[in-house]
Structure 1
């Protein structure tokens, strides 16, 4: 083995360990590895920076703003309120109304704002109709993931793989191409949730802190749940050291993490991204910090979402529909011939939509930077560089040869299964975009050495990198509902592992039929 191969393998191993231990944000971990490759001469400065100018990465950035515009228009809050049945109902009937529609919405919007808006409304509704909220919150996260795999813009992973495909010199995905297999996985997944979620998910888990003496003495104080985001300044600090009350004027009474309720010795607890803090605060807390990026979600049992006029809601929805329609029609050969000098793709239409939303004040243009998840963008940009380093060093070829050697008597379909399993394991342990970055050069090298089309492997990476159901750490929406629903890690394993297997079986069966080797 050459120095470059050994260096890259050790760096990638260190990257995976660092991501699993969660000592730093994924973007900084990947950026650190990319700088190491630059210092070792494996990447040139140009190769290191190419990901930061990639169309896929910039499209993801603007989709954050489009999703924020839809959120601030109040359209999503109105949709979920109409979906939730009023009066007596059952878990099955309520899921039947909710899950397919939420899945459809998440095919065109970023998953996180959908879950952030819907989760507290669903929890409050479930308590009002005497149904356990635990039967709805994990399914909420899962159907947003299932919807996301059906379109090019449904999840950042699809756009990342699309960008890598274009850089490799192949034709990328069209708007609904991934839906040829994604819809089958989504339908099967939703049916599975209908049939088994009531049996596999826990009943109501009572919160350790409901009302306390402090609230009874001072009626101005209320129980608020705050999910910590990656920008929270106290991450990796002890609660006592950070002094939450001095910063935010609220007292922490409980920390919910991995299904555990911590109420004792709170000052010595180290705060982590995704922790749910139960705090006693007055009405000004949510008003002051509701728009802050340090909290992913604030829920106080009341409706905190904006309710603008119907005109703004409809205008935002029309813009979204025009964006999707334009990107779809723009891929047609006749349209390409009619406008040879303009590429009417998703990048074009999302750019136009973002600017219109900013100028018409659907989202506050002065605050646009706070609505973008910069860590995800840095992770994506560095993913391109890491993929390039794996190719430059020869790691991709040597690992691909090893995988082919293990399965050479079984044909490309077994290799497709191997790529799915590898990608899926990485996405459950680290992040979906980092998993795609590691799997893409392997897929490209495997297909090249086998002399088969790489497209089936590219599609399987999209499906596997998004199929994060078995752990709460692979997808941010899983982390959000874990805190609100007070779920344990094992709850995700119990209901999520069969869903991973469903996605695997459908992918391995259908993908070669639709995209032949």
Structure 2
């Protein structure tokens, strides 16, 4: 191994250990790892700059502003009132029905904005019913990720794999072609969360919520500094209609490939300022710097793994180790490796790394590449065992003050369950 590879691996191990130790704020841990990599020259300043200005950061920051505009309009307070009324009649079952409804939206819309808007509502409905929000926020993130695997447009990972496969000469996927694999994963995963997630989080649920970054519990749904949201917002129909229309328009434009979600969300946030639905100062107040910095710091570590060739070295070793094995064994190994990488790197990075390997692996075995590409799609989103495998995990991790090990306890079994379901479904639906 080269010096850069050793440094990158050491930083990665140290960051994960510090997050498990849980004595230092997670955003500070991620920034410290990025700083070490920058000072030692593993990554260049321009690459760190690119991480902080990445499409994911732009999209998430813009969605936070749009979500804050919806909060200021009083629309989310109205939604909470209706949700509380339903859940008072149904109790905890009402909250699970709400999670299911949010999951259905994630089949067709990006999960990040859905969780940005849905997490505060779920949290505050649970609080109003005197139920622990931690019991429902982690399942919210997991359910939106699982249902996003049900269609081609449910997650950007699926679209990226499809596009790269097309470049490699493979036919494009239909919107619902992967549904027979994604739907069983979502149903079995949802049932597991309903039956077992509370038991696995029993110790954490007994602790008071401690949102990171200075956030505190308040009585109205919000995204941002809790001090800005302490009072109930009066309902403003005009602002609510405009903010809702901008949100739907931004997501729809991205879903129809008019422009990337980073561009449409950014344009939507600026439009809300121009229409005076939200002031510039309010827009700044709606940002969540702790989450944005945390993601950027982890992206820098992912960049270091690519630049040092640490990730490439691992993937080359994978192809060499699979010589002479059968298609099913190769599929299983490919899925497991992709699943592990997606816990460490961004979903887009994993898609870029693993899609060419999937095609090359299928060609070397003389079989169809379809099942291998679907495996990359499913495993590339199945990031449940850490708070940083997927953006929605980061959002609920910060909001509810989970411990790192909470995600390991609940997410690792979910990884293994969805892995088994996915491989079985792929083997049936996509013959070699």
TM-score, shorter chain, exceeding 0.5: yes
Aligned length in residues: 406
Counterpart position of 1:321:
248
Give the greater-gyration-radius structure (CA): 1
**1:316-355, aligned counterparts within 5 Å?**
316-329=243-256, 331=257, 344-355=259-270
- Show structure 1 runs of 5+ residues with no match: 128-132, 208-224, 233-273, 278-285, 332-342, 428-433
Q: Is 2:360 aligned against 1:443?
A: no
Superposition deviation, residue 89 in structure 1: 4.2
Superposition deviation, residue 515 in structure 1: 8.9
Q: 1:365 aligns with which of 271, 280, 285?
A: 280
Deviation sequence 1:69-112 (CA, Å, 0-9, x none): 233333333234324437654644x3464232233466552525
Counterpart position of 1:57:
57
Superposition deviation, residue 21 in structure 1: 2.7
Superposition deviation, residue 2 in structure 1: 2.9
Q: Is 2:376 aligned against 1:393?
A: no
User: Secondary structure of the residue that 2:382 maps to in structure 1?
Assistant: helix
Q: 1:416 aligns with which of 328, 331, 334?
A: 334
Deviation sequence 1:269-304 (CA, Å, 0-9, x none): xxxxx8x79xxxxxxxx69x99895559989xxxx5
Q: Is 2:381 aligned against 1:463?
A: yes
**1:73-112, aligned counterparts within 5 Å?**
73-84=73-84, 85=86, 89=90, 91-92=92-93, 94-95=94-95, 97-104=97-104, 109-112=113-116
Q: Is 2:128 aligned against 1:124?
A: yes
Q: Given that residues 420 and 504 in structure 1 are in contact (C-alpha distance below 8 angstroms), is that contact kept between their aligned partners in structure 2? A: no
Counterpart position of 2:143:
146
Superposition deviation, residue 64 in structure 1: 1.8
CA change 1:395–1:495 in 2 (3 A) is closer
CA distance in 2, matches of 1:414, 1:40: 37
CA change 1:514–1:65 in 2 (3 A) is farther
Deviation sequence 1:217-260 (CA, Å, 0-9, x none): xxxxxxxx874432x3xxxxxxxxxxxxxxxxxxxxxxxxxxxx
CA change 1:315–1:465 in 2 (3 A) is same
CA change 1:3–1:516 in 2 (3 A) is farther
CA distance in 2, matches of 1:364, 1:514: 51
Superposition deviation, residue 142 in structure 1: 0.7
Q: Let me know the Cα RMSD of the aligned residues.
A: 5.1
Counterpart position of 1:115:
119
CA distance in 2, matches of 1:24, 1:16: 12
- Show structure 2 runs of 5+ residues with no match: 364-368
More helix by share: 2
Q: Given that residues 27 and 378 in structure 1 are in contact (C-alpha distance below 8 angstroms), is that contact kept between their aligned partners in structure 2? A: yes
Q: 2:233 aligns with which of 306, 314, 321?
A: 306
More strand by share: 1
CA distance in 1, matches of 2:291, 2:166: 25
Q: Given that residues 146 and 186 in structure 1 are in contact (C-alpha distance below 8 angstroms), is that contact kept between their aligned partners in structure 2? A: yes
Counterpart position of 1:47:
47
